[in-house]
Amino acid sequence: MSTTTQHLSEQELIRRDKLKQLQELGIDPYPAAEYPVNAVSTDIKARFNEETKEQFQDICLAGRVMAVRDMGKACFVQVQDGSGRIQAYMRRDDICPGEDKSLFDVVFKKLTDIGDIVGVKGYVFTTKTGETSIHVREFSILSKALRPLPIVKEKDGEAFDAVTDLEFKYRQRYADLIINPQVKEVFVKRTKLMQTIRQYYNDMGFLEVETPILQPIPGGAAARPFITHHNTLDMPLYLRIANELYLKRLIVGGFEGVFEFAKDFRNEGMDRTHNPEFTVMEMYVAYKDYEWMMDKTEALLEKVAMALHGTTEVQVGDNVINFKAPFRRVTMYEAIQEHTGIDISNMNEDELRDTCRQLGIHVEASMGKGKLVDEIFGAKAEGHYIQPTFITDYPVEMSPLTKKHRSKPGLVERFELMANGKEIANAYSELNDPIDQRERFEEQLKLMQRGDDEAMFIDHDFLRALEYGMPPTSGIGIGIDRLTMLMTNQPSIQDVLFFPQMRIEKE
């Protein structure tokens, strides 16, 4: 036995034998010619009736065999195409009008398996049980499946219990989509969500742009980057952790409204809401502030909910979340006091560290004031905000890229949007004072020297851009993956990514 066949199951060996038999019969199991598809299952089932039946007398449909009910000289076959399933009725004398019945008796009944991709031509009719079906006149094999579908249970030739193993679902998404076609709806809605956001900003006259993924400085966020090396330039490069600083450069250059759907990368932990590769939409507008951005953001999410569901109320687990604007607005310090009973607004770093110990929150020696406040909020307040809520006015130490608050010393004009206990958006009145920005970067450098591996690098080119003058600007980042989780009622980020990051598969 060859090395290749040693690892094949009995079913896989049988299918390879069937493949060989098809080839010996002169049938190409993987034909190159175009197959003239002119119909899809959902359209047929939606539009076929007595008045329209003349339109369905010569249809051609392709899809995957998902079930077979053998009746001897006839079969009922469930064919699944990209839109859904439809029943096909195959009768031997229709498929094989002459004396040679091998196309039905051998090719279809013996050499065709569940999972094979086939083409059928014929006309549409309604069975005695009222099911819209295709009466097949011609049958073709378009792709022989050499691996059986991982069906848990099967009865009368049809799967009725889909695979739910998460390892399988995330690693073999292609097979998951075949046997759990409802999974497609999540990704269809994800695309519609992104299209709605794109159209919203297009209608406002903003320009969609692209900025570098490989960056010499990993700027725009406090996060640990992935590092690589460019051989020709002989220099380290970083996969971007955010696209913020490049979009602001464009505002400096004269664009007054820009946005980008960006793939960002952070070399951090993985859990139900974090994947090392994720999608963020960032948008920046000149001459606006964070108050304007709150108004536009709540209007956007109301629009997204309506586009996906036809209502602003979205079921998320046990909660019904209402995205009807306006959303509640609470300051960071008010939120912490509301859920701990402690006013931390005037505490220094040592007092914050003592408060963390009092609240049972583990902290590291490298954490500065901003990180400590963030830890308290994350541990004691964040999870309570189920309905959409803007958390506003953060301590300056938490926000090195944000403009100082116009009336509240020690704070900045920033908000995060919470929903279902998680952050889904982060926005600022952007810092455009180059001297203040340089000082903030230098404070981040001190944190890095203390051991904070998420502190920001100093981006000297960005500082140079600010020195040319950036107009008053408001910016926002919206986590597309988390927003999709909310809008499609999915419990894990892996459920809204086609191919989430996983460990290397064992042999």
**Which DSSP helix (H) or strand (E) runs through 319?**
strand 319-322
| Cβ–Cβ under 8 Å, residues 475 and 427 | yes
At 444 the pLDDT is: 83
C-alpha 137/C-alpha 150 separation (Å) is 31
Q: What is the residue type of 27?
A: I
Q: 440-493: per-residue pLDDT in tens? A: 888 888 877 887 776 778 899 999 999 999 999 999 999 999 999 999 999 999
Of 11-20, 163-172, 415-424, where does mean pLDDT reach its minimum? 163-172
Range 363-386 average pLDDT: 93
* Nearest alpha-carbon partner for 419 in 498, 494, 340, 312: 312
Please say if the pLDDT value at position 3 is more than 50: no
Mean pLDDT over the full length of the chain: 93
416 annotated as a binding-site residue = yes
Q: Per-residue pLDDT tens for 380-407?
A: 999 999 999 999 999 998 888 899 999 9
Pairing mode, if any, of strands 207-208 and 257-265? parallel
> What does 150-203 look like in DSSP terms, one character per residue?
--SEEETTEEEE----HHHHHHTHHHHHHH-TTHHHHHHHHHHHHHHHHHHHHH
How far is Cα 4 from Cα 6, in angstroms, rounded to an integer? 6
Domains of the chain by range and CATH?
3-148 (2.40.50.140), 184-327+387-496 (3.30.930.10)
349 assigned to a ligand binding site: no
Tell me which residue has tokens 């119909």. Answer: 39
256-284 pLDDT per residue, tens: 999 999 999 999 988 988 999 999 999 99
30 confidence band (pLDDT: 50, 70, 90): very high
**pLDDT bracket for residue 158 (50, 70, 90):** low
What the block records as the tokens of 24 is 């010996």
The torsion of the CA quartet 261, 263, 268, 269, rounded to 10 degrees, works out to 80
The CA-to-CA distance between both ends of the chain, in Å, stands at 19
Instruction: Provide the pLDDT confidence category of residue 155 given band limits of 50, 70 and 90.
Output: low
